[in-house]
Amino acid sequence: MTSAMSFEFETVYLNEWGQVSDSSRRAGISFTEELAPGVNLELIWIPGGSFLMGAAPDEVGHSPDERPQHSVKVSAFWMG
């Protein structure tokens, strides 16, 4: 395993017309795991957090399986 490395990335926010409305710069952590000679797996750290999943009660055109809207908490994990 190589040591963890920091990297920067930019998140771009678009309005309903697909035009850039805002952006922000963030930092992340990655590392590369050697699975076999010449075979590497790059992993990115995903921080935990919570968010609302599902359609809001007043959202037009939502599917029945998108209700009820509820809070979801996700633990931090590595994604490859």
Note the pLDDT tens digit of each residue in 40-75. 999 999 999 999 999 988 889 888 899 899 999 999
Q: Where exactly are the structural domains of the chain?
A: 1-46, 50-80
For the chain, give the longest Cα–Cα distance: 54
pTM above 0.95, yes or no: no
Distance CA 29, CA 9 (A): 11
DSSP 7-20: EEEEEEEE-TTS-E
Query: Which pLDDT does position 23 carry in this prediction?
Result: 96
Contact 43, 78 (CB under 8 A): yes
Residue 4 has pLDDT above 90, yes or no: no
Sheet with 39-46: list strands edge to edge. Answer: 5-14, 20-36, 39-46, 77-79
